[in-house]
Chain A
């Protein structure tokens, strides 16, 4: 498997923390901005979906690659918030991108570890020979669902999510052509004991839609609606401190790479504190860690490819060794050690 192209799309609307300073204590906002490191992010307009962002990223990439759409035989879309309950959002991408009838089309419901998990799945499809060219679409458009639009923010308990989370969509083009593989090591895992640490309780079949889902209830010392996103920060930190440095070491050993051999480390852009903490724990050189969190926020499964596209620069063009690591909702984690050369990309798409 080779990564032949990566692209990303973000909504045009830039949101800075200013909206929050007008409504909450500056101390509280400063604390969250200082911790998350998010100085701005993008917010989609009502009606835009994760698949819209992914498709807008994919179209110019397919052109830049000079791929005939009829030669793409798999499209996998990773999101936690599909356009509809059914069909899967990947089918909209299949329709909009003009992909052929002989095409494997399905969604994966994952967040922070979504790109790395998706890469593992597509690697399997390509290695089996069933598929030769695949698109991995990773995107999230959570504004208005798991967190309010910035203009609608009212409750202190929504403040952190409102400041942290951004919208984005990405496309990664993968091919088995040429025979050689870009993948030097993979690792993955899940921990069901952390099932409730990152969760939206309501709106699925466990807690079906009803007016009660829109009412605020006391949860610990906060009030939330069952349809809002709950993140348990301390538990997630403990999880990441246990899993991520070990994930990196396992992959370095498998790839037979030293820390210095790696040209770029791309962690899921969870928040700046977490990335700095994991960098120190994993003893990774600071100048090799790519960061996009300050400009785009936490964009869930889009964060790793978005960071590669917007911060990779010359690394995309020349032979490069990447360490990529995703971790979060599930709880789950996964990573790949990749060697790439001449990745095609297009300027950041804005819609």
Chain B
């Protein structure tokens, strides 16, 4: 999955525009960053064959944390 693809998908999950997201954007600043968002992100990751630990998604603070969680699968 490319970085641009991920940002586009994440923006949909957070109900925002891709240009509002940078690597340091604080996920908790979005009202949509909740358990539903975690589930939607899991589906995005699974669509691209990316395995992550479900528990750790909610611990991510920034966009970069999410990218790091995939262990190099987003480039």
Contact = CB atoms under 8 A, between A and B. Distances in A.
Interface string A10-39: 000000000000000001000110010000
Interface in B1-59: 31-32, 34-36, 38-39, 42-43, 46, 54-55, 57-58
A190 to B, nearest CB: 20
A233 B43 contact: no
5 contacts: A234-B35, A235-B55, A237-B39, A238-B42, A273-B39
A287 B68 CA distance: 40
A67 interface: no
A255 interface: no
A235 B54 contact: yes
A300 to B, nearest CB: 20
Interface string A112-149: 00000000000000000000000000000000000000
A277 interface: yes
Interface string A36-73: 00000000000000000000000000000000000000
A131 B24 CA distance: 66
Given A31-B36, A35-B36, A234 B42 contact: yes
Contacts of A262: none
Interface string A234-276: 1101100100000000000000000000000000000001000
A277 B43 contact: yes
B31 A237 contact: no
Given A233-B39, A234-B57, 8 more contacts: A27-B31, A35-B39, A160-B35, A232-B54, A235-B54, A235-B55, A237-B43, A238-B42
B47 to A, nearest CB: 9
A241 B39 CA distance: 11
Interface in A192-237: 232-235, 237
A31 B34 CA distance: 9
A234 B31 contact: no
Contact of B42 (A31, A32, A237): A237
Contacts of A241: 42-43, 46
A277 B58 CA distance: 21
A149 to B, nearest CB: 23
Contacts of A234: 35, 38-39, 42, 54-55, 57-58
Contacts of B46: 241
